[in-house]
């Protein structure tokens, strides 16, 4: 076996091909958009990598067949290295060679802690290893075989935290209970929630950044979110936005919370194999314009610390579901990325009728420099 560094376009094609080879015949797998993967791993295009670096490798067997891949990267803002986009056959020696290659390079950069499997950017996409709930993935959701967990743990990776994903359908939603809590919070604290409008996107970006930075600053490895970054994400995600299902919460004019969900693009991507040529764009545009939207994916939910557990969460969720009930065909919402370090949010999801659906795990590995 040999790990080969990717240095050119042909190498990038091999890197992408690994997943297509390993998941051939898996009925659940939906290929990520290849252009998006390459964008994330391109130092010139991905601002997160501007002060850092990234390396890619593929693993080949004795017959030069592709049997694995891995990416290693760091931001240059801290001593944290990251590993992601790992794929491998069910063979510990093969996995160890990939891990050794990535770890050695990160070690040479002077980094002393590795987080994996993640991506070079924010946590709402391609983050963590799927360890429970091996069903069809949502868009930008990590999907992998069950044996990957043993490959990571046998190498020495240890649990850092778990990310829980819950699923809720209209018939499960506990509307009466939530309406009582929401009405009480509105009467007592004068909370309100409003939907998104594209015309007011600059204000939303500013308000969302304020809430995010206040709510997430207590977490380890927190990186401040900037308005320019949010506006860029909005532009990229515009085709997936349903304005009424992006909620901002306020007390007076003060932004205090948000609930962001997007159409699950994977409901339209099945069978497209991640390719993004002209035919793909035409087909996708038609599906987005005329196809029935049956599934949303919540990607961000946050409340500033001083307003947590006062009912504003219920106000946003109740208004969200009232809006969702008016949308023909919409059947379910996947609530992703709730860390196990946030038990209050887990209890809230249970309280509104959501059910456990998937679990992803983020691992860490201490290395010597």
Tell me, what's the pLDDT at 369? 56
Tell me, what's the pLDDT at 130? 97
Q: How confident is the model at residue 292 (pLDDT cuts 50, 70, 90)?
A: low
Fold of 2-163: Aminopeptidase (3.40.630)
Percent of the chain at pLDDT > 90 equals 57
Tell me, what's the pLDDT at 116? 96
Tell me, what's the pLDDT at 98? 98
The CATH code that applies to domain 174-352 is 3.40.630.30
- How much is the average pLDDT of 242-253? 93
Coil, helix or strand for 204? helix
CA triplet 27, 32, 35: central angle to 5 degrees?
150
The helix (run of H) or strand (run of E) holding residue 333 is strand 332-339
- How much is the average pLDDT of 25-54? 90
DSSP 8-state secondary structure symbol assigned to residue 75: -
- How much is the average pLDDT of 153-159? 97
Residues in the chain: 369
The domains of the chain are located at 2-163, 174-352
Is residue 269 scored above 90 in pLDDT? Answer: no
Coil, helix or strand for 286? helix
The reply to whether the predicted model has a pTM over 0.95 is no
Tell me, what's the pLDDT at 66? 96
Residues 102-141 pLDDT 10s: 999 999 999 989 999 999 987 778 999 999 999 889 888 9
**82: CB partners within 8 A, 6+ apart:** 72, 73, 74, 114, 115, 116, 118, 119, 120
CA distances (Å), origin 159, targets 169, 178, 261: 31, 34, 28
Radius of gyration of the chain (CA): 21
Is residue 354 within 8 A of residue 362, CB to CB? The reply is no
């Amino acid at each position: 076996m040999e790990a080969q560094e990717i240095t050119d376009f042909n190498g990038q094609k091999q890197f992408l091909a690994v997943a297509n080879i390993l998941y051939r015949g898996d009925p659940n797998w939906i290929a990520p958009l290849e252009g998006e993967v390459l964008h994330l791993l391109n130092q010139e295009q991905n601002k997160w990598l501007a002060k850092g670096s990234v390396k890619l490798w593929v693993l080949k067997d004795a017959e030069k067949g592709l049997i694995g891949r891995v990416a290693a990267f760091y931001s240059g803002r801290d001593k944290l290295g990251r590993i992601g986009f790992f794929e491998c056959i069910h063979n510990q020696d093969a996995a160890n060679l990939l891990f050794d290659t990535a770890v050695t390079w990160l070690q040479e950069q002077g980094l002393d802690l590795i987080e994996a499997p993640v991506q070079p950017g924010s946590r709402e996409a391609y983050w963590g290893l799927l360890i429970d709930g091996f069903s069809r993935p949502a868009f930008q959701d990590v999907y992998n075989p069950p044996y990957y967990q043993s490959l990571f743990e046998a190498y020495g990776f240890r649990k850092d935290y778990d990310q829980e994903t819950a699923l809720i359908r209209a018939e499960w939603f506990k509307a009466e209970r939530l309406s009582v809590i929401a009405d009480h919070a509105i009467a007592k604290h004068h909370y309100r929630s409003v939907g998104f409008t594209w015309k007011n996107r600059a204000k939303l970006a500013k308000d969302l950044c304020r809430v995010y930075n206040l709510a997430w600053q207590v977490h380890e490895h927190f990186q401040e979110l900037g308005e320019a970054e949010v506006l860029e994400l909005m532009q990229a995600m515009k085709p997936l936005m349903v304005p009424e299902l992006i909620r901002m919460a306020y007390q007076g004019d003060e932004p205090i919370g948000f609930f962001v969900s997007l159409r699950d693009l994977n409901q339209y991507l099945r069978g497209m194999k991640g390719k993004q040529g002209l035919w793909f764009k035409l087909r996708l545009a038609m599906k987005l314009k005329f196809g029935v939207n049956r599934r949303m994916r919540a990607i961000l939910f946050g409340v500033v610390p001083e307003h947590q557990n006062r009912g504003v969460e219920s106000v946003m969720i109740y208004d969200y579901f009232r809006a969702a009930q008016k949308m023909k065909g919409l059947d379910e919402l996947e609530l992703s990325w709730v860390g196990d370090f946030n038990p209050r949010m887990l209890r809230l999801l249970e309280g509104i009728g959501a059910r456990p659906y998937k679990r992803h795990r983020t691992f860490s590995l201490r290395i010597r420099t």
